Chain A
Amino acid sequence: GAVVSQHPSWVICKSGTSVKIECRSLDFQATTMFWYRQFPKQSLMLMATSNEGSKATYEQGVEKDKFLINHASLTLSTLTVTSAHPEDSSFYICSARRGGGGTYEQYFGPGTRLTVT
């Protein structure tokens, strides 16, 4: 159990366009989902935390108007990179956490490689 999927696994887009990445928890309900980005040989940097039905909480330095997050249901969160630029090229990873029970394990998706040309 505890499988998280991401779609697409990779995407190439032109500068100025928008890209949407989906994150789904396949076999559990995720009250909280997280979005990270990771540059080569760097640690995961948390971008935002979202709770189902609420607005996302963004980390300092992350532009909320550029990285739109929607957590519409207990199994789906989306990240939209608006007006993408080459510096947005990165590996984007989502994770999901079950609610309640005092368990804090996070289950990660396989990641989405975004390349902006």
Chain B
Amino acid sequence: SQKIEQNSEALNIQEGKTATLTCNYTNYSPAYLQWYRQDPGRGPVFLLLIRENEKEKRKERLKVTFDTTLKQSLFHITASQPADSATYLCALASGGSYIPTFGRGTSLIVHP
């Protein structure tokens, strides 16, 4: 069956460091992959989308890589700040309906 795995343990890092979150998937041929941020009691906020034929995407302090051979995406936040503390969700969508399926998310805690 299709699986999207994100580390369920919270990632704790110091302010200023680079946070790296991982999204692994199995039994999936995604057309694209997205990363979202979700704060407690709020809906997810779209951050980045990367297509199957793209290796890397950047937006300000954010960088996403997509390795369809390893079936993995890495999400990096450089120069992290306490305000970056949130849960980060990855979502994959296959061709056709392009309806994404979400992982459980990884909680990031940036300490001042």
Contacts and interface: CB of A to CB of B under 8 A. Distances in A.
Partners in one complex: yes
B43 A93 contact: yes
Most buried by B among A44, A49, A91, A113: A44
Interface of A is mostly: strand
Contacts, number: 47
Contact of A104 (B32, B42, B89, B105): B32
A110 B42 contact: yes
A46 B49 contact: no
Given A41-B104, A42-B104, A49 B41 contact: no
Contact of A46 (B36, B99, B104): B99
A104 B102 contact: no
Interface in B12-63: 32, 34, 36, 41-46, 49
B46 A43 contact: no
Contacts of A113: 41
B77 interface: no
B3 to A, nearest CB: 11
Interface of A: 4, 6, 34, 41-44, 46, 49, 91, 93, 95, 104-111, 113
Interface of B: 4, 32, 34, 36, 41-46, 49, 89, 93, 97-105
26 contacts: A6-B43, A41-B104, A43-B4, A43-B103, A43-B104, A43-B105, A44-B89, A46-B99, A49-B97, A91-B41, A93-B43, A95-B43, A104-B32, A104-B100, A105-B49, A106-B34, A106-B46, A107-B46, A108-B36, A108-B45, A108-B46, A110-B42, A110-B43, A111-B41, A111-B43, A113-B41
